Structure 1
Amino acid sequence: MNQNISDGQTILSNNSKFELGFFSPGNSKNRYLGIWFTNTSSQTVAWVANRQTPLIDNFGAVILDNQGNLSLVNGSGKVIWSSNSSASGTSINLVAQLLDTGNLVIKNGEKPNNEIWQSFDYPGDTFMEGMKLGKNFITGRETYLTSWRSADDPSPGEYTLRFSMVKGKYQQLYITSSAIETRIGPYNGISFSGRPLRTPETADPAFTSYMVVNQNEMYFATYSVKNTTMLLSRTIVTAGDTQNAVFSSNMSQLDCEAACKNNCSCTAYANPNISTGKAAGCLLWFGDLIDVRVYPQNGQDLYIRLAASELSAGATLLGLILGLYIRRKWKKNSDTEIAGKPKETLDEDYEGINRPMGSAEVSLFSLSTISKATNDFSVDNKLGEGGFGPVYKGVLEEGQEIAVKRLSKSSRQGLDEFENEVICIAKLQHRNLVKLLGYCLQGDEKMLIYEYMPNKSLDCFLFDESRKLKLDWQQRFCIIHGIARGLLYLHQDSRLKVVHRDLKAGNILLDNLMCPKISDFGLARMFKEDESEANTKRIVGTLGYISPEYAVNGLYSVKSDIFSFGVLVLEIVSGKKNRGFVHEDHDDNLLGHAWRLLTEGKPLNLIDECLGGSYSASEVLRSVHVGLLCAQQRVEDRPNTPTVLAMLGGEGSLPSPKKPAFFIQESEINSSSVLPLLTSSVNGITLSQVDGRS
């Protein structure tokens, strides 16, 4: 039986299934207005009005005013809860009514089925027949379940059960606290795929669930033969998380398969809706697959795309790897030996590395995808050109911006550097390292695909008289710290010890927040845990940044990167290049000039003039001091990476640096005939090969 609530009445209503009134939960003495099931052995509460504002005594009343607003007042007449509803137009017969479904509604008696307000729009921890869980895109209201704080306290607890209700995304239930605790799979038309598959024949006859998706709203609901209820506080557990998935309702299985194969970013696909007895629709996953579960029977098919998705590319890649392997075996006898053992680095046979690029932890992009993203490598999309070749900006179909390095046929950097970078950087993940998204290897085309850095490289700011004004001292000091943290990861904290070998301003990229990211790992080398240095006859890098032991003897280690970092720090402080530095009073390079100023007690004179007086003197002094310590002649005198970071952070006193390496200008080095330099430069990117005399 339904009872009406008239204006001004206090209430204690009931019907055949539910009761509405005041109650105290568990051992609490507080009182709440709620709805509970009738004919149950213990009181089971389905809905609470004043969850967060209880009555603290036995005085309270519920009032429906002539505007259609339902209020709960305490003994002092203060409103502690309100429906915040009002009727539009003229209303002379407003009533509050508890329906047999357990839904408390306020409606105009003159207009049947025209509810002004209903409790089902504000659920607690219980999901009942006729209630919607989802979102109304017109009003913006989202309905979801929230657990009680405890059995004695119905105020909202830490757990919620809600749908992923985003246009273009497939519907999925989540249980969350501060983060996602459980994903109850995507909806398959009958049930949620977080459980073994339920077909129309095996579905529970007690209730039927359904999903509504249109331009106005998205929601999940049930109707039943029996009474159905979901209690979040009492009942809380696939094809996988659909957060990174895209849904299309009008694609067949063949169309779905083709769509995934034609998009290199596609990870997997499935036909999610089985309500018609056969699979319908298309769900495409992009990125990692999360919470995929395997059931021994009654599972739902999920088609996962493997790395070797295209046989032609796979065959080309296999041939390339085989050719490189044979060539390296042939080269092995010419490698320099240390202690009678050939040195093994990344460009040689290193057992700790998965050699095939197909095994690297990055994606293989098709040429058509990259061509489309860059508008057929339009000159308008060209960002610049380096030793590797031109770099283009692109936008993938899903909207992600990318930077594409395309190997030039005339480039001196070839397959070694290309393969080296793919394998090396794929294993490295750090906020101060550029992220490699994938590569393209098709026909004569060889490309590397990176995350796009809107502010390009550090040298574009540092050595440009107009743009350097955008680099204040605080930004420069943060960039120094960021580069040091990236080096610490490479040298110590990553799974493999890495020596970059080409650290310079042009290889420091800046994101939209001017955060530095070390890039270009084509010349990088990996070390085994027990290795500290290596020897090579092929010296590569950039003049002005190469350490003396590497330039003269072909020896490189993490201390080679430390030397390059020291040069870079002094360049960031001064806004001047080390190579080609000119001063009217002497012929020293930037290192020599900084050393001269330090010994004369005037290190602050190194600061970039464009900064004026807006800098921290202590930070500048420490930066100059650390830069000179890193650029010392002897390897053993230079600090290691953890010490560098600690010194930059202001920890402890600093030792006095010794005279830096390459104190005088490069022209004097050439004339002394100590180091014959073979140099090539492509559009400002310099690669150097230095051979010591035999």
Structure 2
Amino acid sequence: MNQTIHDGDFLISRENNFALGFFSPGSSRFRYLGIWYRKVREQTVVWVANRDDPIYGSSGVLSIDQHGNLVLHSYHNLKVPVWSTNVSVEATDTCVVAQLLDTGNLVLFDDRSKSTVWESFDHPTDTMLPGMKLGLDRRTGMNRFLISWRSAADPGTGNFSLQINPKGSPQAFIYWGTKYIWRGCPWPLKSYTDISNVSFVNNQNETYMTYSVSDASVILRVMLDYSGLVKNLIWHEKDGKWNEFWSVPKSPCDPYGRCGTYGICDPHFFSRRFECDCLPGYEPKSPREWNILKDASGGCVRKRLESTLLCGHGDGFVKVANVKVSDTSAAVWASTNMSPRDCEKNCMRNCSCSAYASIDIAGKETGCLTWYGKLMDTVHNGEEGYDIYVRVDAVELGNVFLPSTNFEQNQCV
């Protein structure tokens, strides 16, 4: 693009995958500059430029100004831009061009040096497309995250966001404002589907998630809708509609901290009346709320409070198998190269260490992840989870009965 785009004009990607233009969502009379699929019969917008500053009527015009920025104006006020890429182009003789790629990424680049000046993938709205990064670039300070629409007919900034929390062992969260709604599995993530390949990268320069599709003909998107659901959607041309491949939060154990501190949630709780249980060595803080009202928000406490003072007196660890491990925001990687036995010893030496997990890291060795303090949001995860070892006192260690539980004991001497 090196010319002006008016309302009614379109910028089309090379293979006709995506279009950039003006649209009105639902019955809205406002106009927005956005990107949508070209090969999908149902108009599906994946990016919006002026989400919080709509244009009334067909007066919008997009151009590249003298400073090398994409600028959106309304004919009603050509002096003040509605939206701009707002980047600094160093050289004064640069030739800046905008191009819509077949990935859905709108790129502003220097046609001489071919360097990227700005790209829409760095400024997502509610949709994550294949190849897009979600997370933090420590070199630039840029943090990419999704923010929901306000409603089905209003792409304005909504109440929910999907972000990567880089603290501890990084993990994805759905936020309602600043409140956690749902938590994903932490780094290093296991990829579960044959349709897409999910990568979770965590190094000194970047922490981000991205995904690709194994079949280029598959049209796949991840979006955060205005109700706070993250959905993985696949376009079925034969049916002429988007089919939901998965979504969260959906199961009884998806809401963050469903069973409170030191609780564990089992989404397949058919053998019990309640999805919540306490981790080994713990019991409900409020038995009445837990057993009668099925309210686990109070969480669990140690069965014997004095056991916290008995560190080094026969205490050990009980294995809780196949779980989405507890919230890792405050967890510590003791090492990314440590044997399970040494990981256990490392935790045992510190009386504040409440649990540990020995986790295989792709391309590296086995790492040692340790928790200090409260354990929150632990969930049984079938055969796809990790094993976490919870610290218990000598009495609890002796009471573990392997045939009737998911727990196994391990004493460090």
Query: TM-score, with normalisation over the residues of structure 2?
Result: 0.66
Give the SS at the match of 2:121. helix
> Which residue in 1 is equivalent to 2:269?
none
C-alpha separation in 2, matches of 1:309 and 1:185: 32
> Which residue in 1 is equivalent to 2:59?
59
- The CA deviation string for residues 234-282 of structure 1, in whole angstroms up to 9 with x for no partner, is 5233112112211232223222211111111111111344546x97212
> Which residue in 1 is equivalent to 2:154?
153
Contact 1:6 1:95 (8 Å CA) reproduced: yes
> Which residue in 1 is equivalent to 2:99?
97
Mapped pair 1:69 → 2:69? yes
> Aligned AA for 2:385?
G
> Which residue in 2 is equivalent to 1:175?
174
Q: Displaced runs of 4+ in structure 1, greater than 6 A?
A: none
C-alpha separation in 2, matches of 1:155 and 1:96: 24
> Which residue in 1 is equivalent to 2:394?
308
> Which residue in 2 is equivalent to 1:252?
339
- The CA deviation string for residues 664-693 of structure 1, in whole angstroms up to 9 with x for no partner, is xxxxxxxxxxxxxxxxxxxxxxxxxxxxxx
C-alpha separation in 2, matches of 1:9 and 1:33: 10
Q: Which has the higher strand share?
A: 2
C-alpha separation in 1, matches of 2:201 and 2:380: 28
Q: Which has the higher contact order (CA 8 A, sep 6+)?
A: 2
Alignment of 1:14-93 (within 5 A): 14-15=12-13, 16-76=16-76, 77=78, 78-93=80-95
> Which residue in 2 is equivalent to 1:13?
11
Contact 1:128 1:228 (8 Å CA) reproduced: yes
Q: Give the Å deviation of 1:310.
A: 11
Give the SS at the match of 1:79. coil
> Which residue in 2 is equivalent to 1:269?
356
Give the SS at the match of 1:35. strand
Give the SS at the match of 1:258. helix
CA 1:245–1:6 in 2, change beyond 3 Å: closer, same or farther? same
Contact 2:356 2:371 (8 Å CA) reproduced: yes
Q: Give the Å deviation of 1:139.
A: 2.3
Contact 2:361 2:367 (8 Å CA) reproduced: no
Contact 1:189 1:274 (8 Å CA) reproduced: no
C-alpha separation in 1, matches of 2:12 and 2:375: 49
Give the SS at the match of 2:341. helix
CA 1:28–1:272 in 2, change beyond 3 Å: closer, same or farther? farther
- The CA deviation string for residues 573-616 of structure 1, in whole angstroms up to 9 with x for no partner, is xxxxxxxxxxxxxxxxxxxxxxxxxxxxxxxxxxxxxxxxxxxx
C-alpha separation in 2, matches of 1:272 and 1:154: 40
Match of 2:205 among 193, 201, 216: 216
Q: Which has the higher helix share?
A: 1
Match of 1:242 among 328, 333, 345: 328
- The CA deviation string for residues 438-464 of structure 1, in whole angstroms up to 9 with x for no partner, is xxxxxxxxxxxxxxxxxxxxxxxxxxx
C-alpha separation in 1, matches of 2:355 and 2:395: 12
Contact 1:145 1:160 (8 Å CA) reproduced: yes
Contact 1:186 1:240 (8 Å CA) reproduced: no
> Aligned AA for 1:55?
I
Give the SS at the match of 1:62. strand
Give the SS at the match of 1:204. coil
C-alpha separation in 2, matches of 1:220 and 1:309: 43
Contact 2:4 2:61 (8 Å CA) reproduced: no
Contact 1:70 1:85 (8 Å CA) reproduced: no
CA 1:296–1:89 in 2, change beyond 3 Å: closer, same or farther? closer
Q: Give the Å deviation of 1:309.
A: 9.3
Query: TM-score, with normalisation over the residues of structure 1?
Result: 0.40
CA 1:38–1:309 in 2, change beyond 3 Å: closer, same or farther? farther
Give the SS at the match of 2:166. coil
Give the SS at the match of 2:387. coil
Give the SS at the match of 1:31. strand
Give the SS at the match of 2:347. helix
Give the SS at the match of 1:182. strand
Alignment of 1:100-111 (within 5 A): 100-111=102-113
C-alpha separation in 2, matches of 1:186 and 1:272: 11
- The CA deviation string for residues 165-195 of structure 1, in whole angstroms up to 9 with x for no partner, is 13xx11111111131111112133433xxxx
Q: Give the Å deviation of 1:145.
A: 0.7
Mapped pair 1:283 → 2:284? no
C-alpha separation in 2, matches of 1:142 and 1:94: 25
- The CA deviation string for residues 379-425 of structure 1, in whole angstroms up to 9 with x for no partner, is xxxxxxxxxxxxxxxxxxxxxxxxxxxxxxxxxxxxxxxxxxxxxxx
Give the SS at the match of 1:131. coil
Contact 2:129 2:221 (8 Å CA) reproduced: yes
Q: Give the Å deviation of 1:90.
A: 4.1
C-alpha separation in 1, matches of 2:384 and 2:121: 34
C-alpha separation in 2, matches of 1:172 and 1:310: 31
Contact 2:336 2:361 (8 Å CA) reproduced: no
Match of 1:228 among 220, 237, 240: 220
Give the SS at the match of 1:212. strand
Contact 1:146 1:157 (8 Å CA) reproduced: yes
How many pairs align? 293
Contact 1:7 1:95 (8 Å CA) reproduced: no
Give the SS at the match of 2:344. helix
C-alpha separation in 1, matches of 2:83 and 2:220: 28
- The CA deviation string for residues 298-345 of structure 1, in whole angstroms up to 9 with x for no partner, is 43211111133999xx9xxxxxxxxxxxxxxxxxxxxxxxxxxxxxxx
Q: Which runs of 5+ in 1 are unaligned?
A: 192-202, 315-694
C-alpha separation in 2, matches of 1:58 and 1:137: 40
Give the SS at the match of 2:30. coil
Q: Give the Å deviation of 1:19.
A: 0.7
C-alpha separation in 1, matches of 2:395 and 2:349: 10
Q: Give the Å deviation of 1:46.
A: 0.5
Alignment of 1:205-604 (within 5 A): 205-226=194-215, 227-233=219-225, 235=231, 236-237=248-249, 238-247=324-333, 248-273=335-360, 275=362, 280-308=366-394
